[in-house]
Amino acid sequence: MLLRDEQVPLLLKRKHVVSGYRPLNQPKSFYLKSAFSSHNEVFNVWTHFIPAIILFFAYLIPELLSPLPRVPVLILQVGIVLLLIASSMAHLMHSRSELDHVFWFLIDFSGIALFGITIGLQRYSSSDHMSLIMKIIYVPLLLIVVLGGQYFSTCYLFVFKPHYKRRMELRMGSCFLLACWLYIPLHYRYQDPESAGDPALPLHSRAFQWLVFSGIFMGAHIPERFAPGFFDIVGYGHQLFHLCIDMVAWNLLDAANLDCSSDEGHVHLPRNIVAVSALIASIVIIGFNVHRMMQKAKTKRYDE
């Protein structure tokens, strides 16, 4: 039997979503099976799981099996797969308890962080237009903006101040700062007089436009704020946010395919090494952060 919002802990409630919550403290198999039943998270599960499967078989596997796999393209594809799988699993499993909720959404935030990092690394690795100074400082500052700004602040507020009323605004602001930094490698191309002939730039631009739309749906809780209870199962803002993120990923994948030629591995080998090293370091740092945050979460009360 599905629950109403007054029957679940405050941490698990969604603004303006009145019903459709799954019961708590059930076996893990219950939540896995709930992927095939009706509740207010099922749409969130499938809108990222299905694209992850399509991406894996239609993009990632063919790239790996190609005669000359392109490192920047593979980095981006891995980042998007991790984002989609982390998100779908978080929405599937988080409702078991408050502690499960914290763990799975730390995993979700980790996928988002790796998504941002891999976008920046792909653009850095495949760019021929960045100045020498920017080539030197871009990746370290990318990691600072993502890990030191967007990711750690999001995790800290989520674990220690989950009910802070400005948490969503700070999260959206840090994501916007990251989005701007991710476009630094493209700045030179947009300034090029011949940019009109660059087929990848419109795809990069559309990715940013879809990202803005996604933020509006998630941050403003549209449309459910105008009709609480009406969009509980299908149609509330976070679900539309997922669809927008799918469009962001699709445009980024097609843009990366145009950005990276088949011989880029020989031309950009030093940058590819830097990008792979940065991705591995990021995964290690993020894994350690999840471990530490969960230790802190076990000592917290979330019903205050």
Longest dimension (CA), the chain: 61
Q: What is the pTM of this model?
A: 0.92
Q: Does 90 map to a domain?
A: yes
Share of the chain above pLDDT 70, in %: 97
Q: Contact at 8 Å (CB) between 167 and 157?
A: yes
Bridge partners of residue 19, in order along the sequence: 4
Q: Does 264 map to a domain?
A: yes
Place of tokens 């990632």: 60
Q: Does 94 map to a domain?
A: yes
Distance CA 274, CA 272 (A): 5
pLDDT of amino acid 233: 97
Q: Does 233 map to a domain?
A: yes
Higher pLDDT, 271 or 23: 23
Structural domain span for residue 137:
42-59+73-297
Half-sphere exposure in the Cβ direction for 183 (13 Å, CA): 18
pLDDT of amino acid 196: 76
Helices (H), the chain: 28-33, 42-55, 61-65, 71-93, 98-126, 132-143, 152-160, 167-182, 184-191, 201-220, 237-259, 264-267, 269-297
Higher pLDDT, 144 or 195: 144
Q: Does 11 map to a domain?
A: no
Annotated binding site for Zn(2+): 91, 238, 242
Comparing 3-7, 42-46, 180-184, 232-236, the range with the smallest average pLDDT is: 180-184
Average pLDDT over residues 260-289: 83
Answer whether residue 264 shows pLDDT above 60.
no
User: Across the chain, what does the average pLDDT equal?
Assistant: 91
pLDDT of amino acid 193: 79
Nearest Cα neighbor of 84 from 51, 57, 110, 36 is 51
Q: Does 28 map to a domain?
A: no
pLDDT of amino acid 93: 98
Domain count, the chain: 1
pLDDT of amino acid 304: 53
- Per-residue pLDDT of 103-113, as tens digits, reads 999 999 999 99
Distance CA 171, CA 219 (A): 9
Annotated binding site: 91, 238, 242
- Per-residue pLDDT of 46-58, as tens digits, reads 999 999 999 999 9
Kindly provide the b/e burial profile for residues 33-68, where b requires at least 16 CB atoms within 10 angstroms of the residue's own CB: ebbeeebbbbbbbbbbbebbeebeeebbeebeeeee
Q: Does 19 map to a domain?
A: no
pLDDT of amino acid 303: 58
Q: Does 27 map to a domain?
A: no
Distance CA 131, CA 137 (A): 10
